[in-house]
Amino acid sequence: MAEYDVIIIGSGPGGYVCAIRCAQLGLKTACVEGRETLGGTCLNVGCIPSKALLHASHQLHEAEHNFAKMGLKGKSPSVDWKQMLAYKTEVIEGNTKGIEFLFKKNKIDWLKGWGSIPEAGKVKVGDETHTAKNIIIASGSEASSLPGVEVDEKVVVTSTGALELGKVPKKMVVIGAGVIGLELGSVYSRLGAEVTVIEYLDAITPGMDGEVQKAFQRILKKQGLKFIMGAAVQKTEALKTKAKVSYKLRKDDSEHEIDADVVLVATGRRPYTEGLGLDALGIETSKGGQIKVGKDWQTSVNGIYAIGDCIDGPMLAHKAEDEGMAAAEQVAGKHGHVNYGVIPGVIYTHPEVANVGETEETLKEAGRAYKVGKFMFMGNGRAKANFAADGFVKILADKETDRILGAHIIGPSAGDLIHEICVAMEFGAAAEDLALTCHAHPTYSEAVREAALACGDGPIHS
């Protein structure tokens, strides 16, 4: 048994970042993790492995579709799936070991095992009970399914199973056209699978700017993904090596079936708080299972905080990280802060899709007067040279003050380009501030500047 200033439960991006910041602020810190490795969902079965497979499959796409155009001739590479999975595992190991190194460097104790909170100020791991002045819950989330859809992680899989398939399926059905479904659907489509996405709503990627939703779906269709929209999945039947998916079209209630070698259930995630003992402690949760916290990330019990996927808000690694740093600062007597209005979202397909702030839909709903500055990548020299001219940058600015309210990018490196706009928004910048900033040529960033110019007197290259 040891005494700590802070014990953090969970070592995902929320937990490990929080632990490092606590240690940097001089607090005696431990982090409890039940997995074999540190890093949580993100590093083990989420962000990092999915990006490794997206990267590898994108290289194949480039070789098959663009190499010959640039005078690079020869046999296209074939897929060695085992090796691709080995590459993915190596990437995971490199990252999780990196966190282990950072824990050692910052003198953070890793308490190995599943933790529970028998009472405020105490954390039990295995047979040992440790005391802590503060406890921070960062227990993350797990995949959720639908009634009638039974996951076996072989034929009917969540994202975790989809990152470990025995072979590339010939036919894959993805239930849910959200970020995870479209990213992993793209991976298998590029590797040769016939991918059909079934979505309950009439538009993909719910909550995203409507114009981007339409453009994105058009591009994905061009890449070979099929979509069945407005369809409610009724059930899946797992046969030995295949599955049957039954769905009903919402427009006419007609019933249909589709076969697949693999069905990926990508219908969202829910908070994971099993075994922590929240009820006995009297920690309040919402209907969806999220732990309720105040502005300082403290739960309804003094000295117990919660951050990341297990509380309200977008389930994103960087949101969890920011909360981790802010909660650490609160615990250390400082003033942690997260600007929830400026949290970017990125989809790592090709092209990438990125957004921050308001959409046209949310602005209309709020009755706010705004203007739109849009620039197509077709007018960007670098994008044309790199076969990456699909898509656009769209900036939404206040009609009166020109202050940037939101931005939506579909195009090359959108996930990097969005940050220029995030910084501008943090500083309360106007579109004109971006438009007056010199941007190097030839870069994709010039498209951001052109969109900012489009909020004023107009872009140059369109």
- The residues assigned a catalytic role are 441
Q: How far is the CB of 417 from ligand FAD (least distance, A)?
A: 16
**348-407 binders of ligand FAD (CB under 6 A):** 348
User: Which residue number, 32 or 376, has a Cβ lying nearer to ligand FAD?
Assistant: 32
**335-354 binders of ligand FAD (CB under 6 A):** 348
Is 320 among the residues that bind ligand FAD (CB under 6 A)? yes
User: Which residue number, 169 or 459, has a Cβ lying nearer to ligand FAD?
Assistant: 169
Among 77, 118, 126, 275, binds ligand FAD (CB under 6 A): 275
Is 283 among the residues that bind ligand FAD (CB under 6 A)? no
- Yes or no: say if 23 and 29 are a contact pair by the CB < 8 Å rule: yes
Neighbour tally for 208: CB within 10 Å: 21
Question: Quick one: 216 exposed, middle or buried, by C-beta within 10 A (0-12, 13-18, 19+)?
Answer: buried
Is 271 among the residues that bind ligand FAD (CB under 6 A)? no
User: Which residue number, 9 or 425, has a Cβ lying nearer to ligand FAD?
Assistant: 9
Is 91 among the residues that bind ligand FAD (CB under 6 A)? no
Is 32 among the residues that bind ligand FAD (CB under 6 A)? yes
Among 178, 185, 308, 351, binds ligand FAD (CB under 6 A): 308
* Residue 179 counted as an annotated binding residue: yes
Is 54 among the residues that bind ligand FAD (CB under 6 A)? no
Is 33 among the residues that bind ligand FAD (CB under 6 A)? yes
User: Which residue number, 347 or 452, has a Cβ lying nearer to ligand FAD?
Assistant: 347
**Assigned token pair, 40:** 């949580």
**135-154 binders of ligand FAD (CB under 6 A):** 138-141
Contacting range for ligand FAD; rule: CB under 6 A; set: 33-41, 278-286, 357-365, 376-384: 33-41
Among 29, 57, 159, 236, binds ligand FAD (CB under 6 A): 159
Q: How far is the CB of 136 from ligand FAD (least distance, A)?
A: 10
Among 41, 223, 349, 355, binds ligand FAD (CB under 6 A): 41
Contacting range for ligand FAD; rule: CB under 6 A; set: 9-17, 93-101, 372-380, 403-411: 9-17
Is 161 among the residues that bind ligand FAD (CB under 6 A)? no
**Assigned token pair, 131:** 């005391």
Q: How far is the CB of 11 from ligand FAD (least distance, A)?
A: 6
Site size toward ligand FAD (CB under 6 A) is 36
* Residue 215 counted as an annotated binding residue: no
Residue list, annotated binding site for FAD: 51, 115, 309, 315-318
Residues that bind ligand FAD (CB under 6 A): 9-15, 32-35, 40-42, 46-47, 50, 114-115, 138-141, 159, 180, 272, 275-276, 308-309, 315-318, 320, 348
